[in-house]
Structure 1
Amino acid sequence: MNKQLLIFDFDGTLIDSVPDLADATNIMLAQLGKDIYPLATIRNWVGNGSRMLVERALVGKIEVLAGEVTQAEADHAEQLFLEAYSNIETSKTVAYPDVDTGLQKLHGAGFTLALVTNKPIRFVPKILQSFGWQGLFSEVLGGDSLSTKKPDPTPLLYVCDKLGVMQDKAVMIGDSRNDILAGQRAGIDTIGLSYGYNYGQDIRELNPTEAFDDFVTLVSFLLHT
């Protein structure tokens, strides 16, 4: 692909954080006197940022209809969720297979790496540090770092501009429709990974430039094209 800048999503692409997110979600629901949900159910609600996760948990389904949750209810619940997540040691969050060695190889090969996630930025540094990745990424954006987040293209365009890389030399790598749509709207090539959080939809249906089923194949492709 002859790329210089690799922009990675975080949750569902590099790390599986659902167990910790599910724990925080159920702590929030319990505090509100609501039913809690199994890990497998909450897994389907992750990927659009904390606000959407909270609203889905409040209604118990992935599609939240207008008027089902008031802003005041969502504000209060999100505050409880963020507090619970802050107090969790993220010990259940793990890197996907081959991600650690793969990132090291890509960085060592001279690629510039960036991270653009919809996770609130205050939670990102601790997780990066826990994996020893804090020195790998030249730019890190959270879902609240700018006024908009993926699938809006603005975060990707911001990273390209900040790092002085033309869009045709960048690629967005992620597991969900938010990542692919953000890349397409920014005029940036996209690579989809099939193993993450995409609400049961095959990432290939979103027509990414390339798609892979595991990280080691992705890294081999990037190093040899």
Structure 2
Amino acid sequence: MHYRLICFDLDGTLVETAPEILDAVNDTLEQFDLPGVEQSQVERWIGHGTHELLVQALAYASGVEVQAVRAMPRLFAIGQAFDDHYARRCGTRGRLYPSVRETLYELREHGVRLAVVTNKESRYTQRVLSQHGLNTCFDRVVSGDTLPAKKPDPRGIEDCMRAFAVPPGRTLFVGDSSIDAATARRAGVAVWLLPYGYNMGQPIEACAPDRTIPSLASITDTASSSSSS
């Protein structure tokens, strides 16, 4: 196999998490007497980390500017409430996308190093991975609060390449959004995108990935063929 390191985004790439994030967001909004939001809105807000998603939801539900939400004195308390709700909801309605587990196992059998690079905060990342039995599948996990900067900053991918001594030419990033595409480009690595995730309502083709793949099942076949082409 050509690629010796493959980094994956989490939400919208490995796990469909929007339904349970929606539940936790609406639990929180209800607790603070605010109207709920729709899943389609949550899907557009996913990508910059759970805290930013909550800020967007609060701004929409309150009818105020995002900057005003960030300055709210009670934002910390609302964030703690969301943390409690998401801890309870995590794993209840999320699901693995097709062929995720099988593909990861096959890649490991090929000796490929596997990593997660996500903007999701580490406490949520670990919950999702654990709930879906993926916590032993990865050699490295870089969350949104692991390093001083998060995607589209390339340091998460660079951290993984450095840890495993793999050059950019042998590294692949698999994701589902323009954020993932920009991160890979800045790190100088190939990027393959999936069309079914959370790209803020935009078509994935607009991100100009090196490849668009229909599912993770095609990674092993496509990666193998690319090494012989």
TM-score, length-scaled by structure 1:
0.91
Unmatched 5+ stretches in structure 1: none
Change (3 A) 1:87 1:221: same
Structure 2: distance between partners of 1:23 and 1:144: 23
3-state DSSP class of the match of 2:79? Answer: helix
Instruction: Tell me the equivalent position of 1:130.
Output: 131
Q: CA RMSD in A?
A: 1.9
Runs of 4+ deviating beyond 4 Å:
none
**Equivalent residues in 2 for 1:204-219 (5 A)?**
204-219=205-220
Instruction: Tell me the equivalent position of 1:33.
Output: 33
Cα distance, 1:195 vs. partner? Answer: 0.8
Question: Could you tell me which amino acid in structure 1 is paired with residue 56 of structure 2?
Answer: R
Cα distance, 1:66 vs. partner? Answer: 5.7
Structure 2: distance between partners of 1:130 and 1:59: 30
3-state DSSP class of the match of 1:215? Answer: coil
3-state DSSP class of the match of 1:90? Answer: coil
Instruction: Tell me the equivalent position of 1:108.
Output: 109
TM-score, length-scaled by structure 2:
0.89
Aligned length: 223
Larger mean Cα displacement after TM superposition, 201-210 or 26-35: 201-210
Cα distance, 1:65 vs. partner? Answer: 5.1
3-state DSSP class of the match of 1:224? Answer: helix
Structure 1: distance between partners of 2:87 and 2:66: 29
3-state DSSP class of the match of 1:41? Answer: helix
Larger mean Cα displacement after TM superposition, 208-217 or 148-157: 208-217
2:184 counterpart of 1:188: no
Contact 2:5 2:170 in 1 (8 A): yes
Instruction: Tell me the equivalent position of 1:9.
Output: 9
**Equivalent residues in 2 for 1:56-135 (5 A)?**
56-60=56-60, 67-72=67-72, 73-135=74-136
Structure 1: distance between partners of 2:93 and 2:156: 28
Larger mean Cα displacement after TM superposition, 171-180 or 208-217: 208-217
Question: Could you tell me which amino acid in structure 2 is paired with residue 121 of structure 1?
Answer: S
3-state DSSP class of the match of 1:171? Answer: strand
Give the share of equivalent positions with the same residue, in percent.
30
Cα distance, 1:89 vs. partner? Answer: 4.3
2:207 counterpart of 1:220: no
Structure 1: distance between partners of 2:144 and 2:222: 28
Change (3 A) 1:106 1:31: same
